[in-house]
Structure 1
Amino acid sequence: MDGIKYAVVTGKILRLLGKNQYTSNVESGSTKTEIKYWVELFFGVKVIAMNSHRLPRKGRRMGPMMGHTMHYRRMIITLPPVILFHLF
């Protein structure tokens, strides 16, 4: 579970929630199969599809030296639609 860093919340991601797509940043060395295994194991859901892309690095200056932030991989995980039954 160390590979999944944190969930991401932006305007685009709020629109994706309507399609049952959830987004989180993961370690750059993690593979799709590892992340799928951890999501299914810990959250108890079935993953339909996964998309991923690497985020661009941002420059950070520390005095005269120029460095870069750590870059993560962003995973978009698609889950099956939830069917709610109403019993009257």
Structure 2
Amino acid sequence: MNLTNFDILRKPIITEKSMVEMPDKKYTFKVDVHANKSQIKRAVEEVFSVKVEDVKTANIFGKTKRVGVHVGKRADYKKAIVKLTADSTPIEFFEGMK
């Protein structure tokens, strides 16, 4: 499977917990489920022009939901927490959200 950088990085995850980690230069993204850590690192470095120190990933399984007698399931996804190096510039995309 040939993934481009924009296929790997699906969207940023903006939650209270992810906002607290931003001053430590940790940013959270929803990523493609087939992407590995080295692909995620390369994609973040090329898209945002920063230097990545560490990547942590987690597979999140969707919750089962029901409305009356109908049962459904939210989609599974993979999330990546990317830590930038100390001398790297912050990602400008997240700057207005602090």
Which TM bucket (shorter chain)? 0.7 to 0.9
SS of corresponding position for 1:48: strand
Q: Deviations over 1:48-87 (max 9, x none)?
A: 0010111121124478553322211110000023589xxx
Q: Decide which of 15, 18, 30 is 1:13's aligned counterpart.
A: 18
For residues 82 and 44 of structure 1, the distance between their equivalents in structure 2, rounded to whole angstroms, comes to 13
Tell which structure's C-alpha radius of gyration is larger. 1
The residue aligned with 2:61 is 56
> Is the helix fraction higher in 1 or 2?
2
For residues 53 and 79 of structure 1, the distance between their equivalents in structure 2, rounded to whole angstroms, comes to 18
Q: Which moved more, 1:69-78 or 1:52-61?
A: 52-61
Scaled by the length of structure 2, the TM-score of the pair is 0.73
Q: Decide which of 43, 68, 74 is 2:79's aligned counterpart.
A: 74
Q: Aligned letter for 2:11? A: Y
Q: Which moved more, 1:54-63 or 1:42-51?
A: 54-63
SS of corresponding position for 1:76: strand
Q: Deviations over 1:10-47 (max 9, x none)?
A: 11111100110000111111111111111111211110
Q: Decide which of 17, 26, 32 is 1:27's aligned counterpart.
A: 32
| Structure 2 residues not aligned, in runs of 5+ | 1-5, 90-98
- Length, aligned pairs only: 84
% same residue: 26
